[in-house]
Structures are given as structure tokens and as C-alpha cells.
Amino acid sequence: MAFVADDKLSNEIFSILESKFLFPLSSSAATSPGIPEAPPRGAAAGRVRVLSIDGGGNPSDGLLAAASLARMESSLRSRTGDASACIADFFDLAAGSGAGGVLVAMLFARGHEGRPLFSAADALQLLLAESRRRSGGVFGSASTRRGLFRGLFGSLPGDLLRQIFGDSSLRETLKPVLIPCYDLATGAPFVFSRADAVESDAYDFLIRDVCAATCADAVELRSVDGRTRVSAVGGGVALANPTAAAITHVLHNKQEFPLAVGVEDIMVVSLGASSAANFSLKGKSQIRRIAVDGAADTVDQSVSTAFGGLRTSNYVRIQANGFTSGGGTPKTMMEAIDEILSQRNVESSLFRGKKISEQTKAETLEWSAGELVKEEEQRWKSSIPTVMVKQMVTPRTSSATTASSTSRWP
């Protein structure tokens, strides 16, 4: 009972700190010209749904996240009865760094007839096929150990990137996306944002260039109008876990998310990368891996603390601690991933580090799919839109703000 009382008090204390310091919203922001005033609490149609995928260069990073999303997508299709339902239909914003950034681009880029370019299942199959082709069918070869996504997308512009994305740019994605890199020219993180791209050509970049920037060791790219130059290093260096950046974007972007005033108005699904316990890495590579994963875990702990008592309902984190790529074929790799997803999930506990969850990772993904469908159904019942996404009228010329499309399932 003492622990319960301590947790309640800790939650109350941190809620005060969170509202004032962690995700502050000035009163002037909500009443600025052109920004709608937020209605009373409870009037919103539902929570803003955020997908966040960690960065990394190992094969396990991209494949584990893709497999998790493929499993979630399968559940979404089963629950809605729509065989064409995709991950992009159920999230309002997606953020991804490194391997996660490439996955976000694949899942949220605009494809045929305005549908997502890739389903999660198709993205997973592409990654498996390309990794098999480049490694001679064996994971753990030299090419895959140095990083699946870096090997596939590390050169600019890259034949595969061009084949996948063509000349599509950030502003043409289906939903708002955030993909970070580290800009050597300014010595600071740089976040490629659809919201910025819609506002100005100076912040609109080709998606294939953005993917290269978030994964490459070093690459230089320019915006579509040539005015903005970025000397990029992979996003994992700056924002290995982009969850906090995504939450901050939602809470301060009042044009697209006018009703989100606190973490209670947000649902986050965050997919982590493998742990630093990869003994095949030596020296500087191991140190860098520990640093990147340590930074990602710090963000996880901070975000979990910010959600406080809502962390069990509004914040989901899938973290495959201890999973390494090892060697083997794509089949054995997928068997290993399925085994990891069948294990109990690990969650951050308020001021107490990590704990073993009651649910497995697969069960957590299944539960998350159910919550996403409930949010869609709730939006059908409300006349107040949760999201006002800027839609392109004509690419690279003009834009308009409209209510986010809701579920296709009444």
C-alpha cells in the first residue's frame, strides 16, 4: 500500500511539473490569429494518435519494427473487416529516426489513388528480400552487420530509393511526418517535417533524400527549391528515439492539432530498437551503440513519466531488450522476431526504472490495435474533428487545411 500511495503522490507532483515545464503551452498560442481556440475539455472527438519508431543501423532495428507493424496491421484488418486497411489509416502523425525514418516514409508516402505506398506487410517483405539479395541470403554477413538500412539507403540518391519514392516530396505524404538527422553545418539536430514543407518550398525535400539523410554516415542534400542545404548525419546520432519530439510537435502545432492541450489528448505507440547488448560489436561501434540506446531509453523514461497515471492507456512502448541480429536466413530471423514478440513486454515504471509487463509484446500490439480502432469509431460519433491536416491542393504550389479523414468503416 505504501508503494501505491507513493506512486499516486509522485504522479500528482509530476503532473504539475509536466503541465508547467515539460510540455508548456502559452495561453497566447491558443489564441493567436489563424489558430482555433480549443473547446472545453472532453469536447474533442478523441486522442491524437502518434506512431514513433526508433533509429538504428542493425538489421534487427528495421525488421523488428516492420514485423511489429505488420502484426498490428493484420489485427486492424481483422477488427475492421477491411482487407486493404493500412497503418497510415490509423495514425495522425508518424515520427521515425534512422531505420524508423525509412519505415515511416514507406508507410506514409502517397501511392496509387491516394493510398499508402506500402502496407506494413509489403514493407517487411521488401526489407527481407533486399537484405537477402545484398547479403547472399545470410543475415550476419559483413554487409548486414554494418547496417541493413545504411547498406540499402546510405548512398545518395540511390537506385532503390529512386525506384521506391521517385520524385515524391515531404509535403505529399498522407499524414504529418517527422524524420530527424544531425546537421553538421549548424551543429544541431534537423527535423524534416511535413508541416514545414507545406508552409515553404525551402523546407520541402525529396523523400528519397530524407531517407538517405536519416541513415547515412554523411550526405549533403538540398530542398526542392535549392534554398536550404543540410549536411546530414544519421538521425540516430541526434534523436534515436523521436517520441518526445513528436509529442512536442503535436502540442505546439495548433493549426493541425488544435484540441491537443496535454498528454491526456495523445495516444503514442513507440517502437524501440534492439538493446546495446550486441557482443558482435567491438570498440567504438559498441560504445556508439550503447550511447544511442541509452539516449533512446532516457527519452522512454521521460515520456513515461510525463504520462504519469495515463502511461498504461495512452503510452505503449515495445522494446526488444537483448535482441541481436546474429546470423541466419530471413526465415530464421523472422522466427527469432516471432519469439521475441511472444515474450513479456518491458515497460518503464514511474521513478522505478523498468518492469516486466503482464502482457507479451504481441498482446500489447493486439491491444494497441483495438485502441486505434476504438479511436476511429469515436470520431464517427463526434462532429468535432480531432485533427485538421493540411492537404495539398496542387503539389508545390498551394495548400488547404481540412479535417483529417476518418475511418472508412461506419
DSSP string, 104-127: HHHHHSB-GGGSBS--HHHHHHHH
Which residues 6+ apart lie within 8 Å of 246 measured at CB? 50, 52, 93, 95, 178, 268
pLDDT of residue 246: 96
Q: How far is CA 88 from CA 41, 372, 406, in A?
A: 27, 11, 11
> What pLDDT, on a 0 to 100 scale, did the predictor assign at position 386?
85
Instruction: Give me the pLDDT at residue 316, please.
Output: 93
According to the model, what pLDDT value does residue 38 have? 47
Of 76-85, 126-135, 183-192, 303-312, least confident by mean pLDDT is 126-135
Q: N- to C-terminal Cα distance for the chain?
A: 45
Measured CA to CA, the distance from residue 26 to residue 252 in angstroms comes to 9
- Residue 326 CA to residue 336 CA, distance in Å, equals 10
**Percentage of the chain with pLDDT > 90?**
42
pLDDT of residue 25: 47
What single string gives the DSSP state of each residue in 179-214?
A: EEEEETTTTEEEEEEHHHHHH-GGG--BHHHHHHHH
What is the rounded CA–CA span in Å between residue 352 and residue 301?
10
- Please tell me the least confidently modeled range out of 47-56, 60-69, 77-86, 112-121: 60-69
Q: What is the pLDDT of residue 249?
A: 96
pLDDT for 172 beyond 90: yes
Q: What is the pLDDT of residue 1?
A: 47
**Residue 183 grid coordinates:** 546537421
Q: What is the DSSP letter of 34?
A: T
Q: Where are the beta strands (DSSP E) in 19-158?
A: 48-53, 93-96
Catalytic site positions: 97
340 vs 323: CA distance, rounded Å: 7
Most confident of 63-67, 144-148, 296-300: 63-67
Which residues partner with 48 through β-bridges? 266
Please tell me the least confidently modeled range out of 152-156, 255-259, 265-269.
152-156
Cα distance between residue 83 and residue 124, in whole Å: 17
**Coil, helix or strand for 84?**
coil
pLDDT band at 290 (very low <50, low <70, confident <90, very high): confident
Largest CA distance in the chain: 62
Dihedral sign, Cα of residue 361, residue 366, residue 370, residue 373: positive
Using an 8 Å Cβ cutoff, are 90 and 179 in contact? no
Output 387 or 179, whichever has higher pLDDT.
Answer: 179
Q: Where are the alpha helices (DSSP H) in 263-329?
A: 283-307, 311-314
pLDDT at 128 over 60: yes
Residue 401, pLDDT score: 56
**Residue-averaged pLDDT of the chain:** 78
364-389 tens-digit pLDDT: 999 999 999 999 998 888 878 888 87
**In the predicted structure, residue 299 carries a pLDDT above the cut 70:** yes
Please list the residues that pair with 118 across neighbouring strands: none
User: Which of 115-124, 232-241, 337-346 has the largest mean confidence?
Assistant: 115-124
Sign of the torsion formed by the C-alpha atoms of 285, 286, 287 and 289 = positive
- Which of 204-208, 330-334, 343-347, 379-383 is the least confident region? 330-334
* pLDDT score recorded for residue 7: 52
0.85 cut: is pTM over it?
no
Three-state SS for 330-356 is: HHHHHHHHHHHHCCEEEEEECCCEEEE
Q: Of 39-48, 96-105, 369-378, 379-388, give the lowest mean pLDDT range.
A: 39-48
Q: What are phi and psi of 333, to 5 degrees?
A: -65, -45
The Cα 100–Cα 405 span in angstroms is 24
Residue 200 has pLDDT above 80, yes or no: yes
Residue in this structure with the C-alpha cell 531488450, named with its chain if needed: 321
Enclosing H/E stretch for 392: strand 388-394
Q: Are strands 48-53 and 266-271 parallel, antiparallel or unpaired?
A: parallel
| pLDDT of 33 strictly over 80 | no
pLDDT for 144: 45
Please, are residues 350 and 156 in contact by the beta-carbon 8 Å criterion?
A: no
